[in-house]
Amino acid sequence: MSTIGLSFLFALAGAVTFGAADLRAGAAGNPSTALKLGNVAGRITVAGVHQRPRPLPVFKNRTFCGPTVANETLIIGADGGLQNAAVILRPRGWRPALRPGLLVLDNEQCAFRPHVQIGVVGSELLLKNSDPILHTVHARLGKETLFNVGLPTWRQVAKRLARAGVVRIDCDVLHTWMSAAIVVTDTPYFALTDAAGGFKIGGLPGGEYEMEVWHERLGSRKRVIAVAPSGTVNIELVYSAAEIR
């Protein structure tokens, strides 16, 4: 298998049998309960030689934070499994309903927790600070600042995630090593890869989907896939270590 770029391998369990009626059933975002649903599952890996990111140096509050903190921007297991890659499926031809939820972003041991998370448009983001020192949460969508909140340890603030995109988070009180990302989606069909690089997305009406894979160090890739009713699409995605930036 070539490891130049991103390789896609597809193995469908069962035939792909869907049509306009299936798409119409899901057009309102509420597919018929009689509609059989499919799944997409797989694994994302990195092939080739790579260096583990070095710990990030701490320049402020070292008495509490220590001299370094872990670098979570690139987590690759011993067998190449890529953690914290976002897998997003957008139906083609209809728009699913969204159910906004609650996300939590904490400041813990001089790092944002979790480092990467996913939620749908309209979700609420609760900002917390579990450290006994001052932090800020500076959120940007592209070059635009969405909010910049000071968080002494006693304060909690809720913000609504109103637009789709990757929201980058930094701390502006000279905690230059701190970062996080929140992937805000316009579809309820998504997953974040685990420590082995695995993921699974279920409850999919049969049809075509645009699959997007995003990782903060390896970039974004898109591909159209077909999902069979009551079937499973098994996908292996392989990045080249040469793509790491």
The encoded tokens of residue 95 equal 């728009």
Q: What percent of the chain has pLDDT over 70?
A: 86
Report the CATH number at residue 10.
2.60.40.10
Integer-rounded Cα Rg, in Å, for the chain is: 20
Confidence label for 20 from pLDDT (cuts 50, 70 and 90): very low
Largest alpha-carbon pair distance within the chain? 63
Is residue 176 located within the same domain as residue 239? no
What are phi and psi for residue 2, nearest 5 degrees?
-70, 140
* CATH label of the domain that carries residue 181: 2.60.40.420
pLDDT tens by residue, 74-120? 999 999 999 999 999 999 999 999 999 999 999 999 999 999 999 99
Claim: this prediction has a pTM higher than 0.75: yes
Q: Looking at the predicted structure, is the pLDDT value of residue 32 above 80?
A: no
Among 242, 243, 183, 189, CA closest to 41 = 189
- Predicted local confidence at residue 21, as pLDDT: 37
Give the end of a domain, one of 186, 204, 228: 186
Q: What is the pLDDT of residues 128-137, one digit of tens each?
A: 999 999 999 9
Beta-strand (E) ranges in 161-206? 165-170, 179-185, 189-192, 198-205
The predicted-structure confidence for 177-193, as pLDDT tens digits, reads as follows: 999 999 999 999 999 99
Give the confidence band of 34 by pLDDT, cuts at 50, 70, 90. low
Same domain, 156 and 213: no
How many residues comprise the chain? Answer: 245
Q: Is there a domain that residue 48 lies in?
A: yes
Average pLDDT over residues 26-49: 75
Say how far apart CA 234 and CA 14 lie, in whole Å.
11
Give yes or no: residues 170 and 140 share one domain. yes
Nearest to 31 by CA among 189, 144, 183, 151: 189
- Contact by Cβ (8 Å): 151, 135: yes
The Cα 45–Cα 129 span in angstroms is 33
- Cβ(97)–Cβ(30) under 8 Å? yes
Specify the higher pLDDT residue, 15 or 44. 44
The residue behind tokens 């402020």 is: 60
- Strand pairing category for 102-108 and 124-127: parallel
Q: CB of 65 within 8 A of CB of 57?
A: no
Q: Which of 186, 214, 231 is the last residue of a domain?
A: 186
**Same domain, residue pair 119 and 133:** yes
The amino acid sitting at 22 is: D
Considering the domain architecture, whether residues 206 and 135 belong to the same structural domain is answered as no
Same domain, 103 and 178: yes
Mean pLDDT, residues 214-237: 94
End-to-end alpha carbon distance in the chain: 22
What tokens were used for 183?
């992937």
Banded pLDDT at 35 (limits 50, 70, 90) = confident
Structural domains in the chain (count): 2
Domain assignment present for 225? yes
Specify whether 103 is located in the same domain as 174: yes
Q: Provide mean pLDDT across the span 43-66.
A: 96
Inform me whether the pLDDT recorded for 22 exceeds 60.
Answer: no
182 and 196 belong to one structural domain = no
Expressed as residue numbers, the domain containing 102 is 97-186
Average pLDDT on 62-85 reads 97
Assigned domain for 91 exists: no
